Amino acid sequence: MNTLMKNIAFKGLTAALLAAFAISHLGCASGELVDSNNPEAAFKAAEEYEKDERFEDAITKFSEVKNKHPYSRFAVEAELKIADIYFKRENFADAQTAYQLFKDFHPKHPRTDYVTYRLAMSFYNQLPATADRDLSPSFKAMQYFDEVVASFPQSQYVAESKEKKNSCLKLLAEKESYIGNFYFIRGIFDSAYRRYSGLLTKYPNQGFDELAMYRASISAFESGDKENGIKFSKELIERFPKGEYTADAKEALQKYGGR
């Protein structure tokens, strides 16, 4: 090969190497061409995607870390990151599943209090705005709020867990009152009585006690249950001597022969 051809070949090779070097560095900067065999590098790339709000790309990259490097410490953190992204995007059903799986597979993780709290919040955030809808997620939410309080008493999430549990109880109490009122105004007093008495038993001190006592007493009287009619009327008068329904409860006692 003559000198001219050697120079051309050398220049061509040099240009190709420089181009490859530039592309590889550009890829590393953008997170596009990260070595997937390096769990730390892949994890950092996924974090960059998350930071840039490229959430689908972040989930894909975190999943890659988890699946390709299951025994790496980054795999566990990638699982938690995926759950956090679902939660951040308000995809609470998927967040719930992701946190639950993480909790099941890593019960001794140092951030278990956080995972349990976020699991509870994933259920909580699936609750409807009004009590006339399905409130079944509230029971799971309360279960995990209780676990935070009982199992991690020093956790920073205890106070909010208590507050959110109380919000669940209030919503459930409102639901019981709503159903009780439905039966009461239609004169289905036996069903109304069960709802109001159940409200008082299961969800006391949520702002519905006085109304529930009064309507439980009337429902009992109308159903022929004089004993419970008297009981709830007297309890209302004793607990709420100047309440909204106190005068009505006294009239009910006279009307139904309770005095």
pLDDT band at 37 (very low <50, low <70, confident <90, very high): confident
The answer for residues whose C-beta is within 8 angstroms of residue 139's C-beta and 6 or more apart is none
Residue 209 has which token pair? 């006690």
Q: For residue 172, is pLDDT > 60?
A: yes
pLDDT for the residue numbered 25: 40
pLDDT for the residue numbered 69: 94
Mind listing the pLDDT tens digit for each residue in 72-108? 999 999 999 999 999 999 999 999 999 999 999 999 9
Q: For residue 35, is pLDDT > 90?
A: no
Q: For residue 176, is pLDDT > 70?
A: yes
Helices (H) and strands (E) in the chain, counts: 12, 0
Mind listing the pLDDT tens digit for each residue in 42-60? 999 999 999 999 999 999 9
pLDDT for the residue numbered 236: 97
The answer for residues whose C-beta is within 8 angstroms of residue 166's C-beta and 6 or more apart is none
pLDDT for the residue numbered 10: 40
**Residue 9 neighbours by CB distance under 10 Å:** 11
pLDDT band at 16 (very low <50, low <70, confident <90, very high): very low
Q: What is the mean pLDDT of residues 198-226?
A: 97
Q: What is the mean pLDDT of residues 218-222?
A: 97
Q: What is the mean pLDDT of residues 182-193?
A: 98
pLDDT band at 26 (very low <50, low <70, confident <90, very high): very low
Q: How far is the C-alpha of 48 from the C-alpha of 22, rounded, in Å?
A: 20
C-beta separation of 232 from 216 below 8 A: yes
**Mean pLDDT, all residues of the chain:** 89
pLDDT for the residue numbered 258: 58
DSSP, collapsed to helix, strand or coil, labels residue 32 as coil
Mind listing the pLDDT tens digit for each residue in 101-140? 999 999 999 999 999 999 999 999 999 999 999 999 999 9
| Cα–Cα separations (whole angstroms), residue 10 to 18, 22, 23, 26, 58 | 12, 18, 20, 24, 41
Mind listing the pLDDT tens digit for each residue in 141-167? 999 999 999 999 999 999 999 999 999
